[in-house]
Structure 1
Amino acid sequence: MSPLQEQLVALGAVFEAAVLADKIARTGQVSEASMGCMLGSLLVRDPKSTLDVYGGDDLNLRDGYRALISSLERNPSALQREPLRYALAMIGLERQLDKRSDMLQVMGSRLDQIQQQVEHFGLVHDNVIAACGGLYQDTISTFRQRIQVHGDMRFLQQPNNAAKIRALLLAGIRSARLWRQLGGHRWQLVFSRSKLLKELYELTRS
């Protein structure tokens, strides 16, 4: 994979987290495989490649790629507005998180504890999701900038769905961090649209 493709995998994962959060907010449903991919990405510490963070392939990132493509194409009829809003907010929150080494330390130790829960219960167990959601609440939710998730209140008010959404936002911010570490910048989304789209079309075809 080229460096740009590696960046797009990570950025696609930010958008995947956003799409899944939106899906839960609107329908209360999300596939276990997609949820597992995002939760698993929080726990990978020393990946050999970017794809390793997401289970070794990008099959569970395809909806994220599509949402990213629709954002870059600027086609009003295809644009997924809420996922785009969430994705940009996650990228912004990651920049704030980067300035908080104390919070990063807390997150690292809490994720170690969550890893132990995963070994005991399994990756997509309610306890693990609740722990990830709780970690988001105790850290990212303390920033002044908040992500307001819109959807159907019947689903948003269910504690398990709320925990899933928070866990996904946490995973999205982790992917935003990875994207930036791989050389990603927000200005690329404005000034390098055609270049990014060309690579994304390749990724979605492969």
Structure 2
Amino acid sequence: MAYTNYDRTLAFAGLCQAIKLVQQIARDGRCDDEQLDACLRSILTVNADSTLAVYDNNEASLTLGLKAIVNDFDNSPTGAEMTRYAVSLLALAKKLTHRQDALSQLSDRLETITRQVEHYALIETQMLNNLADIYLDVISPIGPRIQVTGAPGQLQVPLVQHKVRSLLLAGIRSAILWQQVGGKRRHIVFGRKSMVEQAKTILARN
């Protein structure tokens, strides 16, 4: 993996896209199925030869996340919530990378999902349930628990819960990728401007 601003921007866009979809589902109970599918597929791409390959070699599949980098990291309530999710997922991903037992369990569980996806779509209810179970069994015990905010009525719906947990797992995938391509907290605090400019460049050609 390359340690460039382009690679960090792609990985952070993947993280932001997962967060945006979590926010939409937690609030409205639904999101765009194509964006959901693209996010979830990144979870299964574990031996990619480039950062973009994690996202199906398609910059346009990260449009929602790239727009979030440009528009949503500010002092507004929505921006503050996105930052909270991002910081929490990055911290959780860092803990995960130091837990060989959890990484081994995660790898085994994802191999099973990879076999299942030959027969079922990732956004089918049972597959979402399976991904959500991986998050509950492998990621949640590492802690701390991520507090999801939204409409209470929606958050009590099982399918909404499955989608949210599946997307948090996708967020962890992108957070680990961000770290693999050299992403540090300072890049969020001090390098945001260069990431915004890179995101704008990618959006302009898609």
User: Normalising TM by the smaller chain, what interval?
Assistant: over 0.9
SS at match of 1:119: coil
CA distance in 2, matches of 1:205, 1:8: 14
Q: Which residue pairs with 1:171 in the alignment?
A: 170
Question: RMSD between aligned alpha carbons?
Answer: 1.8
Q: Which residue pairs with 1:34 in the alignment?
A: 35
Instruction: Tell me if 1:204 matches 2:198.
Output: no
Superposition TM-score, scaled by structure 2 size: 0.92
Q: Percent identity?
A: 33
Q: Which residue pairs with 2:20 in the alignment?
A: 19
Q: CA deviation at 1:71?
A: 4.8
The runs of 5 or more residues in structure 2 that have no matched partner are: none
Task: Say which is worse superposed, 98-107 or 83-92, in terms of deviation.
Answer: 83-92
The residue type equivalent to 1:132 in the other structure is: L
Q: Cα deviations across residues 117-155 of structure 1 (Å, max 9, x unaligned)? A: 111212221111111100000011113311110101121
Superposition TM-score, scaled by structure 1 size: 0.92
Moved over 6 A (4+): none
Q: CA deviation at 1:53?
A: 1.1
Asked if the contact 1:91–1:176 (Cα under 8 Å) also holds between the matched residues in 2, the reply is yes
The residue type equivalent to 1:120 in the other structure is: H
Asked if the contact 1:67–1:84 (Cα under 8 Å) also holds between the matched residues in 2, the reply is no
The residue type equivalent to 2:68 in the other structure is: A
Q: What aligned pairs does 1:127-142 form with structure 2 within 5 A after superposition?
A: 127-142=126-141
SS at match of 2:117: helix
**Count of equivalent residues:** 204
Q: Which residue pairs with 2:57 in the alignment?
A: 56
Asked if the contact 1:10–1:178 (Cα under 8 Å) also holds between the matched residues in 2, the reply is yes
Q: Which residue pairs with 1:4 in the alignment?
A: 5
Instruction: Tell me if 1:151 matches 2:150.
Output: yes
The runs of 5 or more residues in structure 1 that have no matched partner are: none
SS at match of 2:45: coil
Q: What aligned pairs does 1:99-114 form with structure 2 within 5 A after superposition?
A: 99-114=98-113
CA distance in 2, matches of 1:58, 1:155: 31
